Chain A
Amino acid sequence: MDKNINITLKVWRQKGPKAKGAFETYKLKNVSQSSSFLEMLDVLNEQLVSEGKEPVAFDHDCREGICGMCSLYINGHPHGPDTSVTTCQLHMRKFDDGAVITVEPWRSAGFPVIRDLMVDRYAFDKIIQAGGFVSVNTGGVPDANAIPIPKKNADLAMDAAACIGCGACVAACKNGSAMLFVSAKVSQLALLPQGQVEAARRAKAMVAKMDELGFGNCTNTRACEAQCPKEVSISNIARLNREYIVAKLKD
Chain B
Amino acid sequence: MTQINSKIPEGPLADKWRNYKDHQKLVNPANKRRLDVIVVGTGLAGASAAASLAELGFNVLNFCIQDSPRRAHSIAAQGGINAAKNYQNDGDSVYRLFYDTIKGGDYRAREANVYRLAEVSNSIIDQCVAQGVPFAREYGGLLDNRSFGGAQVSRTFYARGQTGQQLLLGAYSALSRQIGLGRVKLYKRHEMLDVVTIEGRARGIIARDLVSGKLVRFAAHAVVVATGGYVNTFFLSTNAMGSNGSAAWQCYKKGAWFANPCYVQIHPTCIPVHGEFQSKLTLMSESLRNDGRIWVPKKLEDAAAIRSGQLKPTQIKEEDRDYYLERRYPAFGNLVPRDVASRAAKERCDAGYGVGSGLAVYLDFADAISRLGRKVVEERYGNLFQMYEKIVNDNPYETPMMIFPALHYSMGGLWVDYELMTSIPGLFAIGEANFSDHGANRLGASALMQGLADGYFVLPYTIQNYLADQIQVPRFKTDAPEFAACEKQISERIARLMSIKGKRSVDSLHKELGHIMWEHIGMARNADGLRKAIDMLKQLKSEFWSNVLIPGSGADLNVELEKALRLADFIEIGELMARDSLDRQESCGGHFREEYQTPEGEALRQDEKHSYVSCWEYNGDNEPLMLKESLDYEFIVRQQRNYKN
Could you list which residues of chain A lie within 8 angstroms of chain B, going by C-beta atoms?
2, 32, 34-36, 38-40, 42-43, 46, 48-50, 52-55, 57, 59-69, 82, 84-85, 89, 91, 93, 114-115, 120-122, 124-125, 128-130, 132-139, 141-145, 148-151, 154-155, 157-158, 161-162, 164-165, 188-189, 192, 194-195
B390 touches A91 (CB 8 A): yes
Is B241 an interface position by the 8 A CB rule?
A: yes
Complex Cα–Cα for A208 and B126 (A): 31
Encode contact with A along B122-146: 1 for CB under 8 Å, 0 otherwise.
0101111111101111111111000
* Besides A135-B177, A155-B134, 6 other A-B contacts (C-beta < 8 A): A39-B277, A49-B506, A66-B164, A125-B68, A134-B132, A136-B130
B69 in the interface (beta carbon within 8 A): yes
How far is B66's CA from A2's CA once the two chains are assembled, in angstroms?
A: 33
B280 neighbours in A (Cβ, 8 Å): 63-64
Q: Which of B51, B139, B240, B557 contacts A138 (CB 8 A)?
A: B51
The verdict on A63 contacting B142 (CB below 8 Å), with A43-B277, A55-B559, A91-B393 known, is no
**Contacts of A48 on B, CB cut-off 8 Å?**
551
Whether A158 touches B159, Cβ cut-off 8 Å, given contacts A115-B557, A134-B173, A142-B126, is yes
Give the contact stretch, choosing among B70-78, B191-199, B250-258, B628-636. B70-78
Q: Check if A63 sits within 8 Å of B390, measured CB to CB.
A: no
Mark contacts of B245-284 with chain A using CB atoms, 8 A cut-off: 1 yes-contact digit, 0 otherwise: 0000000000000000000000000000011011110110
Are A53 and B165 in contact, CB atoms less than 8 angstroms apart?
no
Name the residue on B nearest A31 (C-beta).
B277
Complex: how many Å from CA A174 to CA B602?
61
* Contact present for A130 and B507 (CB under 8 Å): no
Bound complex: CA of A209 vs CA of B55, how far in Å? 23
- CB–CB B275/A137 < 8 A: no
Given A91-B390, A151-B138, also A66-B76 (CB < 8 A) = yes
Question: Bound complex: CA of A204 vs CA of B132, how far in Å?
Answer: 19
Is B361 an interface residue, CB under 8 A from the partner? Answer: no
- Using Cβ atoms and an 8 Å threshold, which residues of chain B touch A42? 277, 279, 507
13 contacts between A and B (CB under 8 A): A32-B274, A53-B551, A61-B73, A62-B73, A85-B390, A120-B67, A125-B186, A128-B173, A132-B173, A134-B173, A158-B160, A158-B166, A189-B132
| Residue from B68, B130, B165 within 8 A of A134 (CB atoms) | B130
Task: Tell me which of B126, B129, B211 has the highest count of chain A C-beta atoms within 10 A of its own C-beta.
Answer: B129
B66 / chain A contacts, CB cutoff of 8 Å: 61, 67, 69
Residue pair B174, A138 in contact (C-beta under 8 Å)? yes
Question: Judging by beta carbons under 8 Å apart, are A139 and B69 in contact?
Answer: no
- Docked CA distance A198–B549 (Å): 54
Which residue in chain A gives the minimum CB-CB distance to B558? A54
With A and B bound together, what is the CA distance between A165 and B72 in angstroms? 13
**B491 at the A interface (CB under 8 A):** no
A34–B273 CA distance with the chains assembled, in angstroms: 10
Identity of the chain B residue whose Cβ is nearest the Cβ of A52 in the assembled complex: B551
- Complexed CA–CA distance, A151 and B137 (Å): 6
Shortest beta-carbon distance from B359 to chain A in Å: 15
Q: Tally of A-B residue pairs with Cβ under 8 A?
A: 217
Selected from B134, B136, B507, the residue in CB contact (under 8 A) with A46 is B507
Residues of A near B177 (CB, < 8 A) are 129, 133, 135
Q: Are A59 and B67 in contact (CB under 8 A)?
A: yes
A145 touches B143 (CB 8 A): yes
Q: In the bound complex, how far is the Cα of B76 from the Cα of A125, in angstroms?
A: 19
Cβ of A22 to closest chain B Cβ, rounded Å? 18
- Within the complex, the shortest CB–CB distance from B257 to chain A, in Å, comes to 29
Residue B179 at the chain A interface, CB threshold 8 Å: yes
B127 touching A129, Cβ below 8 Å: no
- Cβ of B29 under 8 Å from chain A: no
B466: Cβ under 8 A from any A Cβ = no
Of the candidates B166, B176, B505, B508, the one whose C-beta lies within 8 Å of that of A161 is B166
8 Å CB contact of A188 from B67, B132, B137:
B132
Residues of A within 8 A of B138 (CB): 151
State A150–B161 Cα separation when bound (angstroms).
20
Cα(A91)–Cα(B165), bound, Å:
23
Q: Are B240 and A63 in contact (CB under 8 A)?
A: yes
Distance in angstroms from B467 CB to nearest chain A CB is: 17
Contact A67-B73, Cβ < 8 Å, known A2-B393, A135-B177, A149-B141:
yes
Give the size range of B's interface with the partner: 35 or more
Q: How many whole Å from A99's CB to the nearest CB in chain B?
A: 18
Most buried by A among B51, B142, B457: B142
Cβ contacts under 8 Å, A59 to chain B: 67
CA distance in complex: A129, B70 (Å): 12
Residue pair A39, B557 in contact (C-beta under 8 Å): no
Partner of A144, one of B85, B277, B457: B85
B478 within 8 Å of A by Cβ?
no
Q: Is A165 a contact partner of B70 (Cβ separation < 8 A)?
A: yes
- Docked Cα-Cα span, A162 to B166, in Å, equals 8
Question: What residues of A have a CB within 8 angstroms of the CB of B460 in the complex?
Answer: 138
In the complex where A143-B126, A188-B134, A189-B132 touch, is A39 in contact with B67 (Cβ < 8 A)? no
- Which residues of chain B come closer than 8 Å to A32, judged between CB atoms? 274-275, 277
Whether A49 lies near B560 (C-beta < 8 A) is yes
CB atoms of B174 and A142 under 8 A apart: no
| B620 CB within 8 Å of chain A | no
User: Across the interface, which residues of A come within 8 angstroms of B72, CB to CB?
Assistant: 67
| B 493-531 to A, binary, CB cutoff 8 A, 1 in contact else 0 | 000000000000111100000000000000000000000
User: Chain B residues near A155 (CB, 8 Å)?
Assistant: 134
B169 at the interface (CB under 8 A from A): yes
Complex Cα–Cα for A192 and B387 (A): 28
For the complex of A and B, 9 pairs with smallest distance between CB atoms: A148-B141, A129-B180, A133-B173, A141-B130, A158-B134, A157-B134, A144-B129, A138-B52, A61-B240
Tell whether, in the assembled complex, residue A154 and residue B70 are in contact, meaning their CB atoms are under 8 Å apart.
no
Q: Is B552 an interface residue (CB 8 A)?
A: yes
Is there a chain A Cβ closer than 8 Å to B409's Cβ? no
Q: Which of B48, B126, B132, B279 has the most CB of A within 10 A?
A: B132
- What A residues does B70 contact at CB under 8 A? 67-68, 125, 165
Q: A125, B69: Cβ atoms under 8 Å? A: yes
Does B172 lie within 8 Å of A128, measured CB to CB? yes
CB-based contact B76/A194 at 8 Å:
no
Within 8 Å by CB of B176, from A2, A65, A125, A138, lies A125
Q: Name the distance in Å between A134's Cβ and chain B's nearest Cβ.
A: 5
Across the interface, do B390 and A195 meet the contact criterion of CB distance under 8 Å?
no
A89 and B274 contact, Cβ closer than 8 Å, known pairs A53-B551, A125-B68, A145-B142: no
Write the nearest CB–CB distance from A101 to chain B, whole angstroms.
17
Evaluate whether A62 and B76 lie within 8 angstroms (CB atoms) in the complex, with A122-B67, A162-B162, A192-B134 already known: yes
B188 at the interface (CB under 8 A from A): yes
- Whether A39 lies near B131 (C-beta < 8 A) is no
Q: Least Cβ distance of A249 to chain B in Å? A: 24
Query: Could you say which of A68, A125, A143, A151 contacts B139, with CB atoms under 8 Å apart?
Result: A151
- Complex alpha-carbon distance, A128 and B169, angstroms: 10
B386 at the interface (CB under 8 A from A): yes
Contact status A63-B279, CB under 8 Å = yes
Shortest beta-carbon distance from B308 to chain A in Å: 14
Bound complex: CA of A205 vs CA of B596, how far in Å? 62
* B179-215 interface with A by 8 A CB criterion: 179-180, 186, 188, 211
Question: Which of A91, A120, A133, A194 neighbours the largest number of chain B CB atoms within 10 Å of its CB?
Answer: A133
Residue of B87, B125, B134, B505 with most chain A CB atoms under a 10 A cut-off: B134
Nearest Cβ in chain B — how far from A190, in angstroms? 10
Residues of B within 8 A of A50 (CB): 505, 549
Interface residues of B in 213-234 (CB under 8 A from A): none
Asked whether, in the complex, the Cβ of B279 is within 8 Å of the Cβ of A91, the reply is: no
